[in-house]
Amino acid sequence: MRLVVTGGGTGGHTYPALTTVRALQARLAATGGTLDVLWVGTADSLEARVAAGAGIRFASVATGKIRRSANPLKMISPANIKDMVRVPLGVLQARRIISGFRPDVVLATGGYVAVPVGLAARLTRRPLVVHEQTVRLGLANRSLARRATRVAVSSESTLPLLPEAARATAVVTGNPVRPEVLSGQADKAVQVLGLAGFDRDRPTVYVTGGAQGSQQINTLVRDILPWLLSHANVIHQCGPANLADLQQHTATLSADLAPRYLLTGYVGPELPDVLALADVVISRSGAGTLAELTALGKAAVFVPLATSAGNEQAHNARHLHDAGAAAALLGEATPQALRDAVEPLLTNPDRRTEMARQAQKHGRPDAAERLADVVLSAAGNR
């Protein structure tokens, strides 16, 4: 089977695509088949590096980014006009690549690079599967949904938001989660990270702002840290650039609180074990984070990134908040607001357990397999 995969710009678009490719490879190998993959993306990009690391061939095309604004007149900017001119060039390049590779199906997971590749798929009459990770459709996927053979979404609540022409082809698969995330061991985290000072009778809170950290989340947690440590153990992944500053602020923790606090710039291969140990997670609310935490069934407090495209993180967080499957700081994010959201989860184990149970209801740990089914079905219906 020959597959073109496209999508990137951020990990939220790139890693679900890679996870699905791996699921397809395993599925075909189990029946004696093979998967020939070509990833089409932007040169010198995250997806280019991820494809190279996974041993997947890569081809680049031109693409253009639309800079959104609440004022339509501001969208007619020199930068937008310049980038919009690049899209037809990207379509021509992608059409040439697809015509040469002759895939059985094209999988697009969003990001601006998916637009020219998705359009080229339809021009060359190749089946196109579009996958949306967020609760609300991203701009790229919204433009491709009407042209797709199948549209896969991560949440039931996304279905009414699809263009009417796309609803008949839509299926809820969930957002693919890397299998290793689901296989963590709490005791291993304690051993590997040297958490001998942690009190296992207390809940453990994992604080993260993503690989680079979040200054906003770091500041909120710093300002309630003594109180937080009086109720819980804390693993605080702050981002490499923020480590020195937070070390200064937390050096004065009292002797009874300090052993229950681990500050680290980055959490790498041990992440699955950290997530297994965590009873509560404080984090941003990107689509990938939500997919992992709901698949694991974790109680969480979300601090949405206000500058996310289309305010998608707030929509993601609100979706779970309204269902009782998470708490979210949807108004002003203050230390007191964070404390008010976290406190019931630390002081009331039943409340924490119920939120985790509701979160798990929204999780789809088999999302990669479901999306693989859709891709295989589309390829067989050429």
- Same-domain pairing of 200 and 53: no
- Same-domain pairing of 167 and 184: no
pLDDT in tens, 340-357: 999 999 999 999 999 999
Which segment of 94-103, 127-136, 219-228, 310-319 scores lowest on mean pLDDT? 310-319
- Same-domain pairing of 95 and 146: yes
Whether residue 382 is predicted with pLDDT greater than 50 in this model: the reply is no
**CA nearest 283: which of 354, 187, 359?**
359
Q: Which domain covers residue 332, as residue numbers? A: 179-361
- Same-domain pairing of 24 and 125: yes
- Same-domain pairing of 214 and 103: no
- Same-domain pairing of 108 and 200: no
The b-or-e profile of 257-278 (16+ CB within 10 A means b, else e) is beebbbbbbebeebbbbbbbbb
Question: 382: exposed, middle or buried (C-beta count within 10 Å: 0-12, 13-18, 19+)?
Answer: exposed
Neighbours of 29 (CB within 10 A): 11
- Same-domain pairing of 277 and 302: yes
Q: What is the pTM of this model?
A: 0.88
Cβ contacts of 219 within 8 Å, gap of 6 or more:
none
- Same-domain pairing of 371 and 352: no
The pLDDT score that the predictor gives to residue 143 is 87
The pLDDT score that the predictor gives to residue 87 is 79
Q: Residue 268 belongs to a domain with what CATH number?
A: 3.40.50.2000
- Same-domain pairing of 117 and 259: no
The pLDDT score that the predictor gives to residue 9 is 86
- Same-domain pairing of 115 and 100: yes
The pLDDT score that the predictor gives to residue 212 is 87
Neighbours of 218 (CB within 10 A): 22
- Same-domain pairing of 216 and 275: yes
Query: What's the number of domains the chain is made of?
Result: 2
Percent of the residues in the chain that have a pLDDT greater than 70, as a whole number: 93
- Same-domain pairing of 256 and 144: no
